[in-house]
């Protein structure tokens, strides 16, 4: 299919109830929080991981929708495979990198979408993807709670002997009671032309953003849901308005005086009017 011909900017809202949306391994897996404001954070890498997983499940990891950065993948082996393709192997030495880069883009959805660095083994170049995301930030400060949990079993007989048969293992679990998060995204048709990111790829991205949390359940993450995707579709490749001005058209309103504990405590607004659909496309001319 033809690559996209228009610029897109979008706003994504999602929430978490009694869960940890993105633990920080450098802080004992505590939820990521801005220490100065108390707002919760979710990295762009975390969100891209969920998109990758959704596309992999939806397309069964079949090419051209395979995923380059997936669990247990050995990336250099995949780059080596690119160099073994006839259209790459027969190229002159100076042209192999570009040919390998093109093959990788045509084979892996996440490279066409987010880009990749493919110089860790045989050189397949670097790709700057057309789709970029910011960190997500909660719309209000959040509180991280610590819970003590008990497992009624131990790992070894020695541990059981030390506990004189009690066989209990204590642990910790961290959650946020509720948080509504907002992130921003940008899609460039110029970079899409370089990677081959198509209209079909774009529709798959929208589906992934809407449904990715439904296929990423775990006890640690609690209940996470996409609440709104507001898409600004420009009428030209260069675009018709700055992204920051478009994002100002999207806001939220808290309807409760106390701490918010569900999405029903909020309204998402577009041009100061509540939105009802989960996905909205706004034409910008």
Residue 59 φ then ψ, to 5°: -110, 5
Q: Is 285 helix (H, G, I), strand (E, B) or coil?
A: coil
Residues in the chain predicted with pLDDT less than 70, given as ranges, are 164, 167
Angle, to 10 degrees, between the axis of helix 44-59 and the axis of helix 199-211? Answer: 110
CA distance 87 to 159: 59
**For strand 223-234 and strand 39-42, is the pairing parallel, antiparallel, or unpaired?**
unpaired
CA 51 to the chain's CA centroid: 5
Residue 23 φ then ψ, to 5°: -70, 150
Task: Tell whether the torsion through CA atoms of 201, 206, 207 and 212 is positive or negative.
Answer: positive
Q: Check residue 121 and give its pLDDT.
A: 82
Structure tokens at 212: 């990715």
Q: Check residue 280 and give its pLDDT.
A: 97
Tally the C-alpha atoms within 13 A of residue 43's C-alpha that lie toward its C-beta: 9
Contacts 24+ apart (CB under 8 A), 245-250: 246/9, 246/282, 246/284, 247/9, 247/11, 247/184, 249/282, 250/11
Give residues with Cβ within 8 angstroms of 198, minimum separation 6: 1, 2, 3, 4, 192
Q: Check residue 161 and give its pLDDT.
A: 80
Question: Would you say 280 and 210 are in contact if contact means Cβ atoms under 8 Å apart?
Answer: no
Condensed to tens digits (0 to 9), the pLDDT of residues 95-131 reads: 999 999 999 999 999 999 999 999 988 899 999 999 9
CA distance 222 to 225: 10
CA-CA-CA-CA dihedral for 15, 19, 23, 28, to nearest 10 = 150
CA distance 216 to 227: 16
Number of helices followed by number of strands (H, E) in the chain: 9, 15
For residues 258-271, one letter each, b for 16 or more C-beta atoms within 10 angstroms of the residue's C-beta and e for the rest, the string is eebeebebbebeee
Structure tokens at 1: 């299919």
Condensed to tens digits (0 to 9), the pLDDT of residues 1-11 reads: 799 999 999 99
Per-domain boundaries in the chain: 8-284
Helix H, strand E, coil C: the string for 192-230 is HHHHCCEHHHHHHHHHHHHHHHHHCCCCCCCEEEEEEEE
Give residues with Cβ within 8 angstroms of 38, minimum separation 6: 141, 142, 143
């Amino acid at each position: 299919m033809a690559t996209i011909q228009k610029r897109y900017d979008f706003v994504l809202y999602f929430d978490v109830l009694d869960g940890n949306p993105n633990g920080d391994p450098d802080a004992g897996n505590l939820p990521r929080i801005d220490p100065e404001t108390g707002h919760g954070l979710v990295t762009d890498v975390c969100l891209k991981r969920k998109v990758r997983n959704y596309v992999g499940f939806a397309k069964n990891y079949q090419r051209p929708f395979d995923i380059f950065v997936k669990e247990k993948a050995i990336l250099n082996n995949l780059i080596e495979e690119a160099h073994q393709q006839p259209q790459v192997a027969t190229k002159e030495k100076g042209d192999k990198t570009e040919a390998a880069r093109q093959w990788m883009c045509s084979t892996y959805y996440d490279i066409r979408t987010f880009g990749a660095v493919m110089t860790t083994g045989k050189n397949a170049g670097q790709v700057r993807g057309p789709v970029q995301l910011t960190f997500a930030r909660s719309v209000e400060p959040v509180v991280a709670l610590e819970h003590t949990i008990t497992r009624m079993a131990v790992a070894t007989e020695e541990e059981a002997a030390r506990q004189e048969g009690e066989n209990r293992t204590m642990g910790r679990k961290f959650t946020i009671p509720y948080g509504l998060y907002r992130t921003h995204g940008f899609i460039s048709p110029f970079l899409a032309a370089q990677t081959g990111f198509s209209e079909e790829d774009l529709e798959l991205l929208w589906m992934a953003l809407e449904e990715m949390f439904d296929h990423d359940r775990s006890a640690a993450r609690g209940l996470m849901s996409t609440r709104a995707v507001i898409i600004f579709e420009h009428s030209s490749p260069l675009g018709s308005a700055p992204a920051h001005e478009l994002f100002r058209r999207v806001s939220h309103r808290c309807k409760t005086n106390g701490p918010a504990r569900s999405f029903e405590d909020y309204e998402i607004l577009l041009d100061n009017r509540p939105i009802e659909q989960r996905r909205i496309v706004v034409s910008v001319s």
